[in-house]
């Protein structure tokens, strides 16, 4: 057997189908797919390669696809927001969408036949879904109040946009980065409170002063998977906050990962596994070579020295006479009408702009102080409160079993129902962040929560029932750390009582 034959034999099924045909290739076949219908599309194209374009076949809703967009730094214009509402209204049978934990939007109920026209509408308003799934770089996160916060250190908006443009060829698709070993996350933090959860990203840029100059320390390797979760570690590198440096270092790390990353076992294909195998110093040397110049050693400390903010409520901007208003979107679920209402509010009261947060909430910035009182009378604020109850305020949830075939439990409605029930029963003195995820893939990020819940199955009274594993101890903001699994297999029907006791024992809650 030749070395080539051995290599081919050792490839997992994902590497084999990527070698046969790049995922980006289906972009040229979309019109054909739309004409023949989803049932006639090649199985691998349908279930795998379409994800390169942000199109996700959902076995639990056959014929109705999920479309994942890219919203760099979580910023949408009112025109883009209205366009998303129009797409849902015209093409989305389920008429709903979700804000994700990466400041992003996922549309549901989309038919493959309508994708070419939808893509045309997205392109006309400057939006794209390119390279948003599978072995690609996911939506790039940044501070949701970039350019608004009077205390911010670095405005991340343009840097995030330039990194995305490099990776996706300005949304047209870039074959340089469509064959990574696995998915990849990048975050650029410009504030003091770690609004992007830097520690859970493959690359994170966090503000730091070196010899009096403000720039970024670089962290690498953070990730969640069903087999392993790790916080990002320092690369021992500091860079200036310039496009050349941020885009260049991002490209260099991606090139090293693409060319050297482990591919035989997909459970060991994330960036941290490569760093483990070759060592951090060797990895850093390879990055310097790809970057084309030496990297300065890291600043002694970063400037993440605030507790995490959720941005809900009314907050003054650095622009005189302006405020931004953060609205709580329970578990991130939006309807068609919500998109139209948010677009209208942004235009009537603000600067025709909307921001998304990693907590699945919405910010409307640039509201004149003399318009705030009228803004607060808008009916939408009865649904999306600026002063929600403590648990409802901070509950986060993945898609769950309603739409995702990986999820072992229904998450969104269950998460909201339990949060509202406990809010009604208890006085809770401080915020408690409860994160739900339907499966070990951890899209709902239970490891960063005060209380994390991961879907599983358990036996109760001789029958298999929906259940969760319990995580505790996650911390965000300064001194961020990942929580640990402390209990397995709690039946969901028993969960309200279990959480009630935890809230009373560990978070100072008292009965109302």
Q: Are strands 96-99 and 105-110 parallel, antiparallel or unpaired?
A: antiparallel
Give Cα separations from 302 to 197, 237, 238 (angstroms): 14, 12, 10
- Single out the catalytic residue among 444, 452, 455, 474: 444
* d(C-alpha 476, C-alpha 42), whole Å: 43
* d(C-alpha 251, C-alpha 160), whole Å: 13
- Single out the catalytic residue among 215, 438, 455, 474: 438
- Single out the catalytic residue among 173, 443, 475, 492: 443
147 is catalytic: no
Which residues contact residue 23 at a Cβ distance below 8 angstroms, ignoring those fewer than 6 apart? 48, 49, 51, 52, 53, 134, 135, 136, 178, 179
Long-range CB contacts (within 8 A, 24+) of 272-281: 272/202, 272/220, 272/221, 272/222, 272/223, 272/228, 272/230, 275/220, 275/221, 275/233, 280/233, 280/235, 280/236
58 is catalytic: no
- 469's tokens: 């594993």
102 is catalytic: no
Task: Name the residue with tokens 């994700």.
Answer: 100
111 is catalytic: no
Which residues contact residue 494 at a Cβ distance below 8 angstroms, ignoring those fewer than 6 apart? none
481 is catalytic: no
* DSSP classification of residue 359: T
Task: Name the residue with tokens 């809650």.
Answer: 509
- Single out the catalytic residue among 58, 68, 82, 210: 68
- Single out the catalytic residue among 82, 108, 138, 182: 182
460 is catalytic: no
State the catalytic residues: 68, 182-183, 438, 443-444
């Amino acid at each position: 057997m030749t070395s080539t034959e051995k290599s081919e034999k050792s490839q997992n099924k994902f590497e084999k189908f990527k070698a046969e045909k790049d995922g980006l290739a289906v972009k040229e076949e979309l019109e054909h797919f739309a004409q023949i219908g989803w049932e006639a599309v090649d199985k691998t194209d349908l279930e795998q390669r379409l994800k390169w374009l942000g199109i996700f076949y959902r076995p639990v809703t056959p014929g109705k696809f999920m479309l994942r967009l890219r919203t760099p730094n979580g910023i949408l214009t009112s025109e883009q927001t209205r366009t998303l509402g129009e797409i849902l209204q015209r093409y989305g049978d389920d008429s709903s969408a979700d804000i994700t934990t990466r400041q992003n939007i996922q549309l549901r109920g989309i038919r493959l036949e309508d994708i070419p026209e939808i893509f045309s509408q997205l392109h006309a308003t400057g939006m794209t879904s390119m390279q948003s799934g599978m072995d690609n770089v996911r939506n790039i996160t940044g501070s949701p109040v970039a350019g608004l916060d009077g205390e911010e250190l670095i405005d991340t908006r343009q840097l995030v946009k330039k990194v995305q443009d490099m990776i996706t060829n300005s949304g047209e698709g870039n074959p340089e980065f469509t064959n990574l070993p696995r998915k990849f996350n990048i975050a650029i933090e410009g504030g003091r409170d770690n609004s992007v959860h830097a520690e859970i990203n493959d690359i994170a840029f966090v503000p730091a002063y070196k010899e009096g100059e403000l720039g970024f320390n670089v962290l690498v390797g953070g990730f969640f998977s069903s087999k392993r979760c790790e916080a990002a570690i320092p690369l021992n590198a500091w860079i200036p906050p310039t496009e050349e440096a941020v885009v260049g270092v991002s490209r260099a790390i991606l090139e090293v990962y693409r060319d050297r990353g482990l591919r035989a076992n997909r459970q060991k294909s994330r960036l941290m596994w490569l760093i483990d195998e070759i060592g951090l110093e060797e990895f850093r040397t390879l990055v310097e070579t790809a970057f084309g110049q030496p990297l300065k050693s890291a600043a002694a400390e970063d400037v993440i020295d605030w507790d995490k903010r959720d941005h809900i409520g009314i907050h003054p901007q650095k622009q005189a006479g302006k405020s931004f208003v953060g609205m709580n979107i329970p578990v991130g679920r939006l309807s068609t009408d919500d998109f139209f209402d948010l677009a209208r509010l942004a235009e009537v009261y603000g600067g025709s702009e909307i921001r998304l947060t990693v907590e699945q909430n919405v910010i409307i910035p640039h509201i004149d102080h003399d318009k705030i009182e009228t803004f607060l009378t808008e009916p939408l604020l009865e649904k999306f409160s600026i002063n929600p109850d403590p648990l409802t305020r901070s509950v986060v949830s993945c898609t769950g079993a309603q739409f995702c075939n990986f999820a072992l439990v229904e998450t969104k409605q269950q998460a909201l129902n339990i949060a509202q029930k406990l809010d009604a029963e208890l006085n809770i003195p401080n915020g408690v962040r409860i994160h739900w995820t339907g499966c070990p893939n951890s899209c709902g990020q239970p490891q960063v929560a005060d209380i994390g819940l991961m879907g599983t199955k358990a036996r109760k009274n001789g029958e298999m029932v929906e259940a969760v594993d319990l995580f505790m101890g996650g911390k965000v903001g300064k001194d961020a750390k990942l929580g640990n699994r402390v209990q397995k297999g709690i039946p969901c029907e028993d969960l309200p009582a279990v959480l009630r006791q935890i809230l009373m024992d560990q978070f100072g809650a008292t009965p109302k």
